[in-house]
Structure 1
Amino acid sequence: MIKLNVNGRVHDIDVDGDTPLLWVLREQLGFTGTKYGCGVALCGACTVHVDGQPQRSCAIPASAVADAKIITIEGLSPDSSHPVQKAWLAHEVPQCGYCQSGQIMAAVALLAEKPKPTDEDIDQAMTNICRCGTYPRIRAAIHAAAGNSRA
């Protein structure tokens, strides 16, 4: 039995400790906003926050985060009112949308670390893959959420 604090609520989960956090979130807890992409922590579709840091949940064993605070896209805001989510909509970032929850979680972490990021900061921090190529809109949305004048 593993205790996980997800989106502010503690859950007792009966899984093997080596089970990737991604599968616990999706299969045991029903947080399906976190997506499976590559399974090897490269694409970022599975990005969640663990103690405030963006982490690729497909590569983290559930037992490794038993004492951590985990936030998924569902826990970011109950009504999509987070400034990054609003900027994502205003800049029409999603196309297929598959990577977007991971992109948003990475952007939120970036803005927590650097409230007024430069283009270079964004390029370095946003390593999630978008197969639709919406990178210019992602950058514009991050600048907008930060209140940068270039948004």
Structure 2
Amino acid sequence: MDAEISLRVDGEAHRLTVDTRTTLLDLMRERLGNTSPKKGCDHGQCGACTVLLDGERSLSCLALAVAHDGVEVTTADGLAPAGELHPVQRAFLDRDAFQCGYCTPGQVCSAVGVLAEVDRGWPSHVTEDLTGDVELSDAEVSERMSGNLCRCGAYANITPAVQDAGGAR
């Protein structure tokens, strides 16, 4: 069964007819040619497909496209449309927070989402003071980014990159 949907991906409007079983990840990669989000596990376990849906981080491999009609999708490619790097992207480069780079777009989108959550005062499982500002400690960043895996093990540089970007907000 097919359905017609509208969505914006990285600022560009799209109106498409899609099979109701199509994931948002497959729609972006196969129909729109946006290969920024990666297909890793295709089961929502690795985070390589992380994008921002209306500003909230989400696993696009688990999101059916038809359930996101009218949504604004932002991928790592769309974080800085004017050609300048987003502060998170800049921090990842400055801290050399990648090796093979496969997980990097998902890591970057997740980090942007993490920093937005912190700005809203959302606690995590390891947040010590629930009444004050959230400190971007190593444990806090690691907990919040735990849904994004890096097979190369670049966590030692990813965590400080997120902390740097958090200080640059």
Residue 25 of structure 1 aligns to a residue in which SS?
A: helix
Is 1:36 aligned to residue 56 of structure 2? no
Indicate the residue corresponding to 1:99 in structure 2.
103
Is 1:132 aligned to residue 136 of structure 2? no
Q: Deviations over 1:47-106 (max 9, x none)?
A: 001111111101110001112211111111132510000010001111100000000000
CA–CA distance in 2 between the matches of 1:100 and 1:61? 23
Q: Give aligned pairs, total.
A: 148
Indicate the residue corresponding to 1:142 in structure 2.
162
CA–CA distance in 2 between the matches of 1:109 and 1:121? 14
Indicate the residue corresponding to 1:120 in structure 2.
139
Indicate the residue corresponding to 2:63 in structure 1.
60
The structure 1 segments of at least 4 consecutive aligned residues displaced by more than 3 Å after TM superposition are: none
- Give the alignment of 1:52-91 within 5 angstroms: 52-78=55-81, 79-91=83-95
> Which structure has the larger Rg?
2
Structure 2 gap ranges (5+): 120-134
Change over 3 Å in CA distance of 1:145–1:35 after alignment to 2? same
CA contact (8 A) 2:47 2:149 kept: yes
Residue 15 of structure 1 aligns to a residue in which SS?
A: strand
TM-score, normalised to structure 1, is 0.92
Structure 1 gap ranges (5+): none
CA contact (8 A) 1:2 1:17 kept: no
